[in-house]
Amino acid sequence: MLLSGTVVADADTVIPDGAVVVEDDIIVAVGDRSTCRDQYPDHEHRACDVLVPGTVGGHVHSVQSLGRGIADDTELLEWLSEYVLPMEASLSADGMRAAAELGYLELIESGTTTCIDHLSVAHADEAFEAAREFGIRGRLGKVLMDKDSPAGLLEDTDAALEESERLIQRYHGVDDGRIQYAVTPRFAVSCTEACLRGARELADAYEGVTIHTHASENRGEIETVEDETGKRNIHWLDEVGLTGEDVVLAHCVWTDEEEREVLAETGTNVTYCPSSNMKLASGIAPVLDYLDRGINVALGNDGPPCNNTLDPFTEMRQASLLQKVDHLDSEALPATTVFEMATVNGARAAGFDRVGKLREGWKADIVGLETDITRATPLHDVLSHLTFAAHGDDVQFTMVDGEVLMQDGEVLVADADAIRSRAREFAAEMDVTA
């Protein structure tokens, strides 16, 4: 297949009249449109206004999709205990499947081709199967919670780790590596030391398995961990083995100098979730400091109950603007940096090679957007448009691993109307209060 349009190959490379040529699941050429058409005359041709690498959701909760709008105007710990955890506990296997499908549908529709997905305690198989069927690239994990958790989510430590291992053996590396596993403790507040250390041991036992958890999102969370362990959150996670190049820590809003040194020295990945951090009034992550230290920072939406959208372009805008106003510096976190965070940095955090740029030999994860709209007129700078003006509903084309998942704004791999209908039915029945 030959795709043509303005090609944003990466944050530094824009080809105004360009093309991307795909064979099987690999990009075989990126360059001038006329040259590519001459070299590949027999390839099916599709035109888009703008072609970009598929974005990477560096921290999402697909299975919280049914809770969009249930917990507005609350802070993190209340948000969790009073609304989100009861909702998760109330979901049956069918409800979890409906939630995951709704989440993946939104990701595909808005241009996210890869996600690091923090699931729930039960029924994780449903999300894995949905991800496989939808064709999205993902690193997914069942949640671990073995203390201070509500009924329906609290698990025995050994049983939780054994279930995680079963899922690893079943799903890690399936579909030619498109689906990968992350051992996923919820956060230090709801996990015993044995659970956290067990997560590290389990990840080390299987090649390519990583770790994904929340960290230092909220000052109340940090105080709880310090009261229980005598250590600040990042130091505690480091002690039990939950730092390193194979670890993604979502949020990291409240870290001190020594904790940031640990993150940098261990090569730990951080995911910045600006909309969630604003909505829950958690604070502003020190992203510029992280980047200055060489820490890999990805970009994430978090979950629909605390965002309330999985739109990656809206998240890019929020990411940049929040840092500018925090530092009172209009040059802070420019479009090029944000675009890298939403693409190649996210792919690195997710542990996927050759993902996040439109390059020869890289995976064919490609998104096409329309720009023949008022919001894109005039289009002086395409990277500025993508960061500050584009919306997920501008996406008309989504490809993952060379497979077309959405074309002309219509999802091809699922019945979108049926998914939305089922989601409404399950949402009407679920428990959304403690």
Q: What is the pLDDT of residue 434?
A: 42
Q: What is the pLDDT of residue 354?
A: 98
Q: What is the pLDDT of residue 278?
A: 97
Helix, coil or strand: residue 264: helix
294 Cβ contact list (under 8 Å, min separation 6): 264
CA distance 368 to 48: 6
User: How far apart, in Å, do the first and last CA atoms of the chain sit?
Assistant: 51
Three-point CA angle 220, 225, 227, nearest 5°:
95
Helix, coil or strand: residue 180: strand
- Burial 96-124, CB ≥16 within 10 A → b, else e: bbbbbbbbbbbbbbbbbbbbbbbbbbbbb
Q: Which of 212, 311, 230, 326 has its CA nearest to residue 278?
A: 326
Q: What is the pLDDT of residue 432?
A: 59
Q: What is the pLDDT of residue 77?
A: 85
Token readout for 321 is 């603007």
At 424, which amino acid appears?
R
At 281, which amino acid appears?
A
CA distance 83 to 25: 41
Angle between helices 416-429 and 93-109 in degrees, nearest 10: 130
Q: What is the pLDDT of residues 244-281, one digit of tens each?
A: 999 999 999 999 999 999 999 999 999 999 999 999 99
Say if CB 347 and CB 114 are below 8 A apart: yes
Q: What is the pLDDT of residue 143?
A: 98
Say if CB 56 and CB 298 are below 8 A apart: yes
Q: What is the pLDDT of residues 21-31, one digit of tens each?
A: 999 999 999 99
Predicted structure pTM score? 0.97
Q: Which residues of the chain have pLDDT under 70?
A: 431-434
